[in-house]
Amino acid sequence: MGADLDFMRRAIALAAAQVGRTAENPAVGCVVVAAGRIVGEGATQDGGRPHAEEVALAAAGEAARGGVAYVTLEPCGARSSGAASCSERLVAAGVARVVIACEDPSTFAAGQGSERLRGAGVAVELGLLSDEAQGLYSGYRPAQG
């Protein structure tokens, strides 16, 4: 559990550095871990694209397979652009477990991301350090469709 806390705190720090820079999208942090070490990390970029998971998975490459992703906000289940969602990207990368701090109320997530991950056999844990991560999203007003 101690390592989980450390990795999620790193994801929160990555997101915190982007608060106010991601336009309509929330600032999200993602850390990908394999064999107990960080193999990729990222945050939602300026203007809201790419998403944190995309950045972290690109950095991790094949090392993500069988690993764990720590994400501050539930991965999207659909994209307004029609591009592959973050939950689809996590499944395609072969991560075995996704640890999420906060649920996302957006219609593009709202349980869809977690459902897709679980449906693909990925273990999903929700709520780790949610009290610390929640402050990142106090001003976030998601689109509803």
* Catalytically annotated residues: 53
What are the beta bridge partners of residue 73?
102
Cα 77 to Cα 14, 34, 43, 72, 109, distances in angstroms: 22, 24, 18, 15, 5
Angle at 90 between CA 72 and CA 110, to 5 degrees: 55
Peptide bond into 50 cis (omega under 30): yes
The answer to whether residues 103 and 68 touch, using CB atoms and an 8 Å cutoff, is no
